[in-house]
Amino acid sequence: MSSLTLKNLTKTYPNGYNSVKDLSLEIEDGELIILHGPNGCGKSTILRMIGGLEDITSGEIYLGTTLLNEVSPCDRPLAMLFRNYAMYPHLNVYENMALGLKLRNMPRSIIDSRVKTAADFLEIGKLLDKKNRSISEADKQKVALGRAIVCKPKIMLVDEDFAHGNLRLRGDLLKFLRKINHDYHTTILYATQNLEEAQRLGGRIITLKDGEILTIHSPADPE
Count of CA atoms in the C-beta half-sphere (13 A) of 53: 12
Q: Are residues 148 and 158 both part of a single domain?
A: no
Residue 221 in this model has a pLDDT that exceeds 90: no
Total tally of structural domains belonging to the chain: 2
Q: Are residues 127 and 117 both part of a single domain?
A: yes
Residue 1 in this model has a pLDDT that exceeds 70: no
Those residues with Cβ within 8 angstroms of residue 20's Cβ, 6 or more apart along the chain or in another chain? 9, 10, 11, 42, 45, 46, 49, 211
Question: Which residues on neighbouring strands pair with residue 201, listed in sequence order?
Answer: none
Q: Are residues 184 and 173 both part of a single domain?
A: yes
| CATH assignment at residue 56 | 3.40.50.300
Q: Are residues 95 and 118 both part of a single domain?
A: yes
* C-alpha span between 157 and 172 (Å, rounded): 17
**Is residue 106 situated within a structural domain?**
yes
Residue 97 in this model has a pLDDT that exceeds 80: yes
Q: Which domain holds residue 147?
A: 87-152
**Is residue 101 situated within a structural domain?**
yes
Give 222's pLDDT tier (boundaries 50, 70, 90).
Answer: very low
Q: Are residues 187 and 147 both part of a single domain?
A: no
Q: What is the mean pLDDT of residues 126-147?
A: 93
* C-alpha span between 121 and 177 (Å, rounded): 12
